[in-house]
Structure 1
Amino acid sequence: MTYKIAFFDIDGTLVNEVKEIPQDTVDAIRELQATGVEAVIATGRAPYFFAPIAEKLGIDSFVSLNGAYVVYKGKPIFHNPIPRENLEALVGHADKNGHSLVFEGSSAFYSNTEDHPHMLDSVRSLRVDLPGYDPDFWKKEDVYQAFLHCAAEEEHLYEGAVPNLRLIRWHKSAMDVLTSDGSKALGIEALLKLVGIAPEEAVAFGDGLNDKEMLQAVGLGIAMGNSHEELKPYADYITSHVDEGGIRKGLQYAGLIK
């Protein structure tokens, strides 16, 4: 199979634990781009969380917010915001349980608490600025994703309590909140349809629980060596650790670079 496009998760895939892009990864992406194969970011992050990374890699197309907001060559092409009635149910239930929320729009994000420790812990782990404070942001702007801040042992409080929403843990103190049909695969499908590339002609790299659908939606799904153990069964190939040439080795396995 000759692959025509490659999708890359960010955290644990393009960047390591200290949120740095290994130089070998930068070089491998540039080699890929030199062949004419397009590199696309596919991440749970919002666009304002990864602008410097995209700029450094020369990437202007991305599937962001776990597939809810997609941009191709700098132009938005797909969006799937969370319905306000679902957000209202989430806000009420989280408030009852004393759990903080962060609402992510396409260009800004806001929290409904100012200094909740779980919120501070999770957002700071991304090494980005803290959100603004606006408990009513979700009433005024489209929200593509939310962070729900609770511990793993509290997840059961939300089972069946927040209809039409999907929760995926990404941090010990936080989960992503998406639409029930939300996933990176949904955004990838929209982008591939636009550019006229079949899913079988695409490659995807990931390491987290939110990458399961993405790895299955393409012709070659590659899991990083440092991947969550529950992701690895969904991959066609497991490459090395992000800090051990994982991107380069995966692209070589795909026959995309030498």
Structure 2
Amino acid sequence: MDRAIVFFDIDGTLLDHNKQLPSSTKHAIQALKREGHDVAIATGRAPFLFENLREELEIDSFVSFNGQYVVLGGEVIYKNPLNTKALDSLTKFANKYNHPLVYMGHEIMKANSQYHPHIDVSIGTLGVSHPGYDPHYFVDREIFQALLFCPDEEEAQYRDGLKDLNFIRWHQFSMDVLPLGGSKAQGIEKAIEKLGYTKEQVYAFGDYLNDIEMLQFVGNGVAMGNAPDLVKNVAKYVTKDVSDNGIAHGLKLVGLLR
């Protein structure tokens, strides 16, 4: 088989439901590299939230912040920060409804609320504690993604009122906020242009709503067995649950491993 590049989401894809890396997944990625394929991560997480995983898997290329910050071989090749004016509008809008925000730079993140239960509940699922308080952190800094903490029944007002931003729900109480048009697909496109891959040589594994554009964009999109039907329906392939050797099975399914 020709050389390929494979992008892996993290939560629910590389990491199982207990935020653990299955041994079968680690072995499969090692085998993928031995076969001469390139391996990268494509995640909504900030780079500082998956350093240990990159070290364990020896991966130095990634699409982070849902496509807004792309690194290849340890070198930053694309950045698409949020517009400060748009962030200011978002902040004022969210303050009206008592919905807190977290502003995410490429090295750290800060909240505009000293405490809110939705922050702790949401980011706690990522194994992260409260990011600390700085309501002006977004001013004069590159912010690649914001986290908006509001229940899903209240999200429509943001989509209707802030047309220059993209909102992607990832938790019952939280949405990722991106520049309009921002997606993992956008970041992957920048990466494969730089590396010279065609779409047919590109594979991607994902399991949730922020993976939809990615799975549609690449030549070979693979939905995890634990993905909702909305995600499975846009994928070319569907593998097993992440906890049932889903990555190893999927790589064999698409013919990258024997």
Which category describes the TM-score, using the shorter chain as reference length? over 0.9
Amino acid at match of 1:233: N
After superposing the two structures, state which structure 1 stretch, 128-137 or 219-228, moved more.
Answer: 128-137
**Contact kept? 1:105, 1:142, Cα under 8 Å:** yes
Alignment of 1:26-65 (within 5 A): 26-65=26-65
Superposed displacement of residue 250, structure 1: 0.9
Alpha-carbon distance in structure 2 between the residues aligned to 1:111 and 1:156: 22
1:183 maps to which residue? 183
Q: Any unmatched runs of 5+ in structure 2?
A: none
Superposed displacement of residue 229, structure 1: 2.1
- What secondary structure, in the 3-state scheme, does the structure 2 residue paired with 1:137 have? coil
**Contact kept? 1:45, 1:66, Cα under 8 Å:** yes
- What secondary structure, in the 3-state scheme, does the structure 1 residue paired with 2:24 have? helix
- What secondary structure, in the 3-state scheme, does the structure 1 residue paired with 2:45 have? coil
**Contact kept? 2:110, 2:135, Cα under 8 Å:** yes
Alpha-carbon distance in structure 2 between the residues aligned to 1:71 and 1:136: 27
1:214 maps to which residue? 214
Alpha-carbon distance in structure 2 between the residues aligned to 1:73 and 1:159: 36
Amino acid at match of 1:18: N
Aligned pair count reads: 258
**Contact kept? 1:224, 1:238, Cα under 8 Å:** yes
Superposed displacement of residue 3, structure 1: 5.1
Alpha-carbon distance in structure 1 between the residues aligned to 2:58 and 2:254: 21
**Contact kept? 1:6, 1:204, Cα under 8 Å:** yes
Superposed displacement of residue 130, structure 1: 2.5
After superposing the two structures, state which structure 1 stretch, 228-237 or 184-193, moved more.
Answer: 228-237
1:141 maps to which residue? 141
2:97 maps to which residue? 97
**Contact kept? 2:120, 2:129, Cα under 8 Å:** no
Amino acid at match of 1:177: V
Alpha-carbon distance in structure 2 between the residues aligned to 1:185 and 1:244: 27
2:18 maps to which residue? 18
Alignment of 1:215-230 (within 5 A): 215-230=215-230
Alpha-carbon distance in structure 1 between the residues aligned to 2:156 and 2:97: 12
Superposed displacement of residue 79, structure 1: 0.6
**Contact kept? 2:17, 2:243, Cα under 8 Å:** no
Superposed displacement of residue 255, structure 1: 1.3
Alpha-carbon distance in structure 2 between the residues aligned to 1:119 and 1:167: 17
Alpha-carbon distance in structure 2 between the residues aligned to 1:133 and 1:199: 42
- What secondary structure, in the 3-state scheme, does the structure 1 residue paired with 2:95 have? helix
- What secondary structure, in the 3-state scheme, does the structure 2 residue paired with 1:28 have? helix
Alpha-carbon distance in structure 1 between the residues aligned to 2:112 and 2:50: 23
2:121 maps to which residue? 121
Amino acid at match of 2:52: P
Alpha-carbon distance in structure 1 between the residues aligned to 2:151 and 2:15: 25
Superposed displacement of residue 254, structure 1: 1.7
2:234 maps to which residue? 234
Structure 1 stretches of at least 4 aligned residues deviating more than 2 Å after TM superposition = none
Superposed displacement of residue 156, structure 1: 2.0
Superposed displacement of residue 2, structure 1: 3.6
Alpha-carbon distance in structure 1 between the residues aligned to 2:95 and 2:127: 26
Superposed displacement of residue 256, structure 1: 1.1
Alpha-carbon distance in structure 1 between the residues aligned to 2:62 and 2:129: 21
**Contact kept? 2:151, 2:173, Cα under 8 Å:** yes
Scaled by the length of structure 1, what TM-score is found?
0.98
**Contact kept? 1:3, 1:256, Cα under 8 Å:** no
The Cα offsets for residues 42-80 of structure 1, whole Å up to 9 and x where unpaired, read as 000000111111111110000000000000011100011
Amino acid at match of 1:176: D
1:164 maps to which residue? 164
Amino acid at match of 2:145: Q
**Contact kept? 2:145, 2:178, Cα under 8 Å:** yes
Scaled by the length of structure 2, what TM-score is found?
0.98
